[in-house]
Structure formats: C-alpha cells, structure tokens
Structure 1
Amino acid sequence: MKFAVLVFPGSNCDIDCYKAVEDTIGQPVDFVWHTATDLSAYDCILVPGGFSYGDYLRCGAIAQFTSVMGEVRKAAEAGKYVLGICNGFQVLTEAGLLPGALLRNSNLKFRCHPALLEVVNNETPFTNQYAKGEIVDIPIAHGEGNYYCDEKTLAELEANNQVVFRYKAGTNPNGSVNDIAGICNENGNVVGMMPHPERAVDQLLGSEDGKRMFTSILNAWRGKHGAAVNG
C-alpha cells in the first residue's frame, strides 16, 4: 500500500504523518508537493496539519485551488482513502470534499493539549480497529477547530452515520456543533478530523491511541484487495 503526504507552503505536520506511516505500518510513503498533477500511484492521501499558505483569507481557502487538490478529488471519487488532519480537515471542507466549515474556536484561543474523543463510527476504513463508543486520547492543536454546519447538513451527517469522532461529553475544546471532532463523506473513504492521530502513535508521546487509525487504513486496503490481514 502506498501513501502520499501532501505538502503545501506552511504545512508543518507533514513529517509527523510521514513518520507515523513509516513507523507504525511500514508502508511506502512519499512527500508530494502541492504542484503535483498525478496521484494515481497512491492508495491513501494524507492532507496534514499546519498553516497552508499562512492561513490567509481563511484556513485552507487558498490550498483548495492547487493542482494537487484536483487530483485529490479524482482519488476520492475513485474510492481511494483520503485523511485530512487539522489544517487538512479545513482544506477538505474548503475544497468541497467534506461538508461544513471550521470556525475560530469559541474562546478565540489556540488550544494545544490532549483531548478525549468518542469513536462514533468504527465502520470507516480509518476506524475499523476501534470499538464503537470507545474513548481515545488524541491531542489537538488548533485555533480554528470549531466545526459548523447548518441544521439540514447536521441532520444528514447524523442520519448517515458520518460523524466519526466526538469530543467526550463535557470536554468540547472549541465549541464545535454536537461536539463533532471528525466526519466522513457519504462513502466513508474521506475523513477529516481536528485532533492529530499522527501525534499519538507511541506511548512516549503520551498516547498511542492514534496508531490504530493507520493500522485501520492498512487493514481496510488489504481487505479490499484480498491480501492477508495481519494488522
């Protein structure tokens, strides 16, 4: 299985994502610059955190127009796996690959600390190694993580089981609607989340609960391709 880690001017979690793939599942992984025009060689695309284009205009607003994002759209439509983390989540919403928007945190402060999440949907390619309702510890680091959508969209997300993660009840750090920390598209192959699983792949980092996101992806890909699944 081959992974691409996108790199925009201002990305700063690209190395973290690269190392998470390399160290947790040992699969081939490449950095792919924002000018790339072909992602056909990759099975999973990681859109990392950071401050793409300095977060000018809005977070992710400029990155959506890059040539590589046109290829990400094609990959998503083809059923390939796409994971947007933090700024990557913002990019995916701006690009229309996920509904809603990420607003300034309700307290108008940058929040950087461990966060407890409830696994709401464990049937996606990114969460199949978790238990439904499980509480996991995955850190956040954002100033614009307040997920918002209108009532109609929210009802559709809930009805279609597109909410993947929520902040544990009573711990919402940013004011996001319905405590949403991560969502997926209708097909489940595109996920965006504000917390950073790539920063929770070893107990030395304070938690290894993010590791199973990467083993889940590999597990899903192997299952899809009829390969032996060994985690």
Structure 2
Amino acid sequence: MNFAVIVFPGSNCDTDLFHAIKDVLGEKVEYVSHQEHDLEGFDAVLLPGGFSYGDYLRSGSIASFANIMPAIKDFAELGKPVLGICNGFQILLESGLLPGAMKRNAGLKFICESTPLTVEHNETMFTNEYEMDERINLPIAHADGNYECDDDTLARLEANHQIVFKYDDNPNGSKANIAGIVNERGNVLGMMPHPERAVEALLGNDDGLRLFQSILVNWREHHAVTS
C-alpha cells in the first residue's frame, strides 16, 4: 500500500506521519508537495497537523485553495481513504470535504495533552481494528479544535453514524464532544487528536496504531476482492 503525506507550508507533523507509516506500519509512503496536481499511484492520502500558511485568515483556510486540493477531492470521490489530522481536519472542513467548522478552544488557550476518547463507530475503513465503545487515549495539540456545526448537520452526523470519535472530557468545547467525523461515504476522516503520535508502546502509547492498521486491513480486503 502506498501512502501520500501532503506537505503544506507550515506543516509540522508530516515527519511523524511518515515515521508511523514507514517505520511502524511498514508500508510505502512519500511526501507530496502542496504544489503538485496529481495523486496517481497512491492508495491513501494523509493531511498532517501543523500551521499551514501560518493559520492566516482561519486555520486551514488558505491551504484549502492549494494546487493539490482538486486532486485530493478527486481522490476522495473515487472512494479512497483521506485522513486529515488536526490542521488536516481543519483543511478538510474549509475545503468542504467534511461538514462543520472549527472555532477557538472554549478556554481560548492552546491545549497539549493526552486525552481519553471513545470509539463511536468501529465499522469504517479507519476504525475496523477498534472495538465499539472502546476507550482509548490520544494526544491533542491545538488552539482551534472546538468543532461546531448547526443542529441539522449534527442530526445528520448522528443519523448517518458519521461521528467516529468523541472526547470523554471535551477539553476544547466541541459540539456533542466530537473529536472526529467521516463523510457520508465513510472514506474521509477528520480528527483533532494525533494517532501518529501514539503508535509505539515503547513510547508509552500505541492506541493510534490501530487506526493506520485499519486503513491497511481495509485496503488489503479490497485488493483481494478486485485482484
């Protein structure tokens, strides 16, 4: 399986993602510049955390107009996995690939800590290696992680089982404790916590590894069917 890690000006978690895929998951991975227009040959696209374009205007706003974004939208339209983490989630929201928006954290302070989550939906290509209602811990590091949407959007997210992760203690004030959502098709996931920072038991936590393993398991099952 071949992963693309998209690199924007200001990305700072791209190397963490690269390490998680290459050295821990053991799969192929390449950095892809925001200036590129093509994602041919890749099986999954990862948008890392950081501060793309310095978070000017709004977090993820300028990045949503980068050269690579039309290719990412086409990639998602094909049903292939697209994962946006932290700033990557913000970019997915700003580009319209996921519904809702991000506000400043409820306390108006940057938060950097490990936080408990509950797996709300384990039948996605990103969560099939988790148990339903499983409680995990993942790091967060953000100032604009307060997920917001209108009541109609929330109702649709709930009805379509698009809420994948919820905070147990809601550190940033997100609506309905939302920490991660997928699109209706289930192949685009945005989440504020950082699974790529929790992939090695040696460093104290590997709860995030199963997210990447889930993508790989899903791809292998699909490849076996279509080969």
Q: TM-score, normalised by structure 2?
A: 0.98
Matched pairs, number:
225
Deviation at 1:203, TM superposition (A): 2.0
Letter in 2 for 1:105: N
Looking at structure 1, the residues matched to 80 and 133 of structure 2 have their Cα atoms a distance apart, in angstroms, of 26
Partners of 1:115 and 1:139 within 8 A in 2: yes
Partners of 1:199 and 1:205 within 8 A in 2: no
The aligned residue for residue 213 of structure 1 is: 211
Partners of 1:24 and 1:214 within 8 A in 2: no
Deviation at 1:41, TM superposition (A): 1.1
The aligned residue for residue 153 of structure 1 is: 153
* Percent of residue pairs bearing the same amino acid type: 59
Letter in 2 for 1:165: F
Looking at structure 2, the residues matched to 139 and 25 of structure 1 have their Cα atoms a distance apart, in angstroms, of 19
Out of 221, 224, 227, the position equivalent to 2:222 is: 224
Looking at structure 1, the residues matched to 116 and 46 of structure 2 have their Cα atoms a distance apart, in angstroms, of 22
Looking at structure 2, the residues matched to 19 and 64 of structure 1 have their Cα atoms a distance apart, in angstroms, of 25
Looking at structure 1, the residues matched to 219 and 28 of structure 2 have their Cα atoms a distance apart, in angstroms, of 14
The aligned residue for residue 49 of structure 1 is: 49
Q: Please list every run of 5 or more consecutive structure 2 residues that lacks an aligned counterpart in the other structure.
A: none
1:114-160 per-position Cα deviation (integer Å, ceiling 9, x unaligned): 01000001011110000000000111000000000000000000000
Q: TM-score, normalised by structure 1?
A: 0.96
Q: Please list every run of 5 or more consecutive structure 1 residues that lacks an aligned counterpart in the other structure.
A: none
Superposed counterparts of 1:28-47, under 5 Å: 28-47=28-47
- Give the secondary structure class of the aligned counterpart of 2:131: coil
- Give the secondary structure class of the aligned counterpart of 1:225: helix
Superposed counterparts of 1:117-128, under 5 Å: 117-128=117-128
Looking at structure 2, the residues matched to 24 and 159 of structure 1 have their Cα atoms a distance apart, in angstroms, of 35
Partners of 1:46 and 1:82 within 8 A in 2: yes
Deviation at 1:214, TM superposition (A): 0.7
